[in-house]
Structure 1
Amino acid sequence: MNTKAFFPSKIKHPTSKTAILDSFSVSNFFAELKPQHKLIQSQTWADSHIDLLALDLKPAANIVTIAAGACHALAYLSAKPAAIHCIDNNPAQLALLEIKAKALIHLPDYDAVLKFLAQPHQSDNLKRYQRHLRANLSDQASHYWQKRNLLGRPRYYAFSENLQEHGYYNSSLRALRFLLTQLGARFDKLHLAKDLAQQNQIFEQDILPALQNKYFQFLIQRRYVLNRLGFNQNQITRLKNANQEELSQILIQRLRRLLCDFSIKENHFAQQVIGQTYQIQQQQSLPLYLQKEVFSQLRQFAHRVHPHQQNLIDFLRRQNKQSIDAFVLQDHLDYLHPNEIKILWQEINRCAAPGAKVLIRSLGTQLPLPQVVFQSDETPNWQTDSLRNQSLQNKDRCALYGSLFIFEKPN
């Protein structure tokens, strides 16, 4: 089955902008602009189990989500949706989404999918790409994966190395982790922990001293470092407003929760942060979309994933009234100006079917929706349950966000 139509035949690529260094200051040297046409993240930093629990998707649901690393979107296929529309301005993220979905469809079996997407150092993945995937990719995705990097190797070689180590944010995280190990952090000891009590003890004795190092404390509060880790200025502001503590202390608290509140053996987010690869022998340790129990469903419905290279507001403007059952915004609102949020929410109001849900995450602890979005007479009385929101947030194994909100449109 050839699925060339997975991508629309023509995609308008936004004009690329060249960043010009206007000085040789240290901050400008390190404040590299986020590359708009390169892979930003190779996995989604959001817990798909929590998403599905929060959204309670019914079969044949029509879903709109930010594409990100694609893990969450593919996990939603387990709910048998009618369509999952994945929105992103970055063609690299959409190329990642497509090759992951095509792997579910075209690779011979579950074992081949697991080796291609989850196991590092699999030289046979180059053959899997050539034999099963290349001919089934859209022209846009094929062009992306065939393009050579600075070392002269095609990008699809990432699948023969460690896919989870690729991406703009991932390389920054790797550099930060290396620095912490040089300062004495022993992340490797977490692998030996038998329970949460031991994880907490190892964190206190072998990781926290490096995090409290003055040099690291200074570095982690620099804006250019935070930008490299994926935090824009709006998110930095929200993070600072979370409470009155130092920004570095807030980040340490989030990291403590990630590494101490959930079993390392069952938390692939923690494993990625400490530099551990997916533990394929333990199914509960894998992202949901890579677990064997949902493989047959994902394989059956993967053709219902639809990538769209455009702005979310522009996409929604083209949708019919009351046609969408779920909106997964993740932390997208953290990046928007209040006026943009108002326009976006107007389109959500128009497109939302009765009973539709909106999932929002934020780096801060406050709802990133300005009050003005609820002041229009045309706005339905969206409902949310603060206790349930907090309960879902407490269960989220990613642990790096400060809040999670679910809004439901009344029937």
Structure 2
Amino acid sequence: MNTKAYFQNKTLSSVFKNWVLDFFATKQFFSEAKPQNKLIQSQTWADSHIDLEALALKPAANIVTIAAGACHALAYLSTKPAAVHCVDNNPAQLALLEIKAKALMHLPDYDAVLKFLALPKQSDNLKRYQRHLRANLSDQASRYWQQRNLLGRPRYYAFSQNLQEHGYYNLSLRCLRFLLKQLGARFDKLQQAQNLEQQNRIFEQDILPALQNPYFLFLMRRRFVLHRLGFKQNQISRVKNANQDEVSQILIQRLRRLFCDFALHDNHFAQQVLGQTYQITQQQSLPLYLQKAVFPQLRQYAHRVHPQQSRLIDFLQQQHAESIDAFVLQDHLDYLHPNDINTLWQEINRCAAPGAKVLIRSLGTQLPLPQRVFQSTESHWQTNPLRNQELQSKDRCALYGSLFVFEKINKSN
């Protein structure tokens, strides 16, 4: 299709604009709240390599993390932790975590795990589920994966298709990618790039014009579209407070970094945005928890992953003082009111063992912690801004605006 000629026709342009608005302006797209009993994301959008470098986890560490897509939590097993508590209010995310962990534990070998969790169009995965996993799932996880959709297929059929295409965020990403293709983006050319120089040149010539198209910019100014892409209102405000540019311009900057600052063949985040499946022939491009080098340790320690259906604050209130060595909050603070952050940090401070670390990501570039959370505590926390920037610059996900690592230091020391 000649996109340029297509949009020069005023009538067709109006038709396209109305189609786009109708497509996004459904009831579910207007809704800011994400579904609470449906899968939000099938993979974690955070670089596990950076997590491990930032946290420097020691053996027998007690870890608390947001469950998200489970990739990062399973990667932590490579450090031989005492426990990885994965907290989420959404049972769908916990069911995903559990089936991934049980796949590591009960499937026959590494190749079977790779086929089950990484490769699309594997009809044998239905047999793998029935033979090795179903009986080992908890009742709650089993009910989730056995539930049928409108076509009468159980949810576990996702593993015979392409798991990475399932989930609220993944559907939004596919819609966004479809729109950009209609506006002329040539993602196929980017996939053919051989080095960073070619990636940069192709991005400027074949991707950026679509991102700067008036129709795309128009949609990125619509709040309901941003909500459907996963941005809550306080996240949008946080991004804008950090940079007075439009959200669309910030998105363009981060996509440029994702596609231009890291080799595509090493970056599964970029591959997923481009619509590719995992490149299993290149181990370094796989999520860490799917790499063969760490598989023996993950298989040995997968039973130490503990799904926790709860709010994070409620879970921490049930833990003993100074019992947790690492907290991985991801972008959880972006979703909270400052008063809720203050309450949460009080519990983190109480539960944190000496030397404990807290990992925080944010869509904005500023620390999402009010200054008052550090006041009136028996301990203080330190962070290294230069180290934070270094870690952020190496994070291949590239879609967050900042990363912060805090370490608990007793005042008596």
How far the C-alpha of 1:374 sits from its partner, in A, is: 1.2
How far the C-alpha of 1:221 sits from its partner, in A, is: 2.1
Matches within 5 A, 1:236-275: 236-275=236-275
- What is the identity, as a one-letter code, of the residue corresponding to 1:200? N
1:126 aligns with 2:119: no
CA distance in 2, matches of 1:379, 1:156: 48
2:389 partner SS? helix
Aligned length: 386
1:317-369: CA deviation from partner (whole Å, max 9, x where unpaired): 11001000000000000000111000100000100000000000000000000
2:206 partner SS? helix
Cα RMSD, aligned residues only: 1.1
- What is the identity, as a one-letter code, of the residue corresponding to 2:229? L
CA distance in 2, matches of 1:408, 1:152: 50
Mean Cα deviation higher: 62-71 or 224-233: 224-233
Matches within 5 A, 1:7-406: 26=25, 30-32=29-31, 33-376=33-376, 378-406=377-405
How far the C-alpha of 1:26 sits from its partner, in A, is: 4.4
- What is the identity, as a one-letter code, of the residue corresponding to 2:192? L
How far the C-alpha of 1:380 sits from its partner, in A, is: 1.5
CA distance in 2, matches of 1:180, 1:276: 16
CA distance in 1, matches of 2:58, 2:28: 49
1:63 partner SS? strand
- What is the identity, as a one-letter code, of the residue corresponding to 1:218? F
Structure 2 residue ranges without an equivalent (≥5) = 1-23
- Do the aligned residues in 1 keep the contact of 2:29 with 2:227 (CA within 8 Å)? no
What is residue 16 of structure 1 aligned with on the other side? none
1:172-196: CA deviation from partner (whole Å, max 9, x where unpaired): 1101101111111011112211110
- What is the identity, as a one-letter code, of the residue corresponding to 1:318? Q
CA distance in 1, matches of 2:186, 2:399: 20
- Do the aligned residues in 2 keep the contact of 1:27 with 1:224 (CA within 8 Å)? no
- What is the identity, as a one-letter code, of the residue corresponding to 1:304? R
- What is the identity, as a one-letter code, of the residue corresponding to 1:342? N
- What is the identity, as a one-letter code, of the residue corresponding to 1:213? N
- What is the identity, as a one-letter code, of the residue corresponding to 1:383? Q
Structure 1 pair 29–299 and aligned structure 2 pair: CA distance change class (3 A): closer
4+ aligned runs moved over 2 Å, structure 1:
25-30
Q: Give TM-score, length-normalised by structure 1.
A: 0.93
Structure 1 pair 239–137 and aligned structure 2 pair: CA distance change class (3 A): same
1:252-293: CA deviation from partner (whole Å, max 9, x where unpaired): 000100011000000000000010100000000000000000
CA distance in 2, matches of 1:86, 1:173: 25
Structure 1 pair 29–148 and aligned structure 2 pair: CA distance change class (3 A): closer
1:241 partner SS? helix
- What is the identity, as a one-letter code, of the residue corresponding to 2:113? V
- Do the aligned residues in 2 keep the contact of 1:268 with 1:286 (CA within 8 Å)? yes
How far the C-alpha of 1:30 sits from its partner, in A, is: 2.8
CA distance in 2, matches of 1:198, 1:286: 22
CA distance in 1, matches of 2:387, 2:337: 27
Q: Give TM-score, length-normalised by structure 2.
A: 0.92
1:1-34: CA deviation from partner (whole Å, max 9, x where unpaired): xxxxxxxxxxxxxxxxxxxxxxxx9475631341
Structure 1 pair 27–160 and aligned structure 2 pair: CA distance change class (3 A): closer
How far the C-alpha of 1:379 sits from its partner, in A, is: 4.4
- What is the identity, as a one-letter code, of the residue corresponding to 1:391? E
CA distance in 1, matches of 2:59, 2:174: 39
Structure 1 pair 379–283 and aligned structure 2 pair: CA distance change class (3 A): same
2:379 partner SS? coil
1:22-57: CA deviation from partner (whole Å, max 9, x where unpaired): xxx947563134111000000000000000000000
- Do the aligned residues in 1 keep the contact of 2:64 with 2:87 (CA within 8 Å)? yes
Mean Cα deviation higher: 259-268 or 28-37: 28-37
How far the C-alpha of 1:142 sits from its partner, in A, is: 0.3
- What is the identity, as a one-letter code, of the residue corresponding to 2:128? R
Structure 1 residue ranges without an equivalent (≥5) = 1-24
- What is the identity, as a one-letter code, of the residue corresponding to 2:296? S
- Do the aligned residues in 2 keep the contact of 1:172 with 1:229 (CA within 8 Å)? yes
Of all paired residues, the percent bearing the same amino acid is 81
CA distance in 2, matches of 1:155, 1:28: 24
CA distance in 2, matches of 1:168, 1:273: 14
1:146-186: CA deviation from partner (whole Å, max 9, x where unpaired): 00011110000000000000001100110110111111101
- Do the aligned residues in 1 keep the contact of 2:73 with 2:84 (CA within 8 Å)? yes
- What is the identity, as a one-letter code, of the residue corresponding to 2:199? Q
1:85-112: CA deviation from partner (whole Å, max 9, x where unpaired): 0000000000000000000000000000
- Do the aligned residues in 2 keep the contact of 1:86 with 1:307 (CA within 8 Å)? yes
CA distance in 2, matches of 1:29, 1:55: 38
- Do the aligned residues in 2 keep the contact of 1:180 with 1:211 (CA within 8 Å)? yes
CA distance in 2, matches of 1:290, 1:319: 31
CA distance in 2, matches of 1:358, 1:27: 39
What is residue 12 of structure 2 aligned with on the other side? none
- Do the aligned residues in 2 keep the contact of 1:325 with 1:355 (CA within 8 Å)? yes
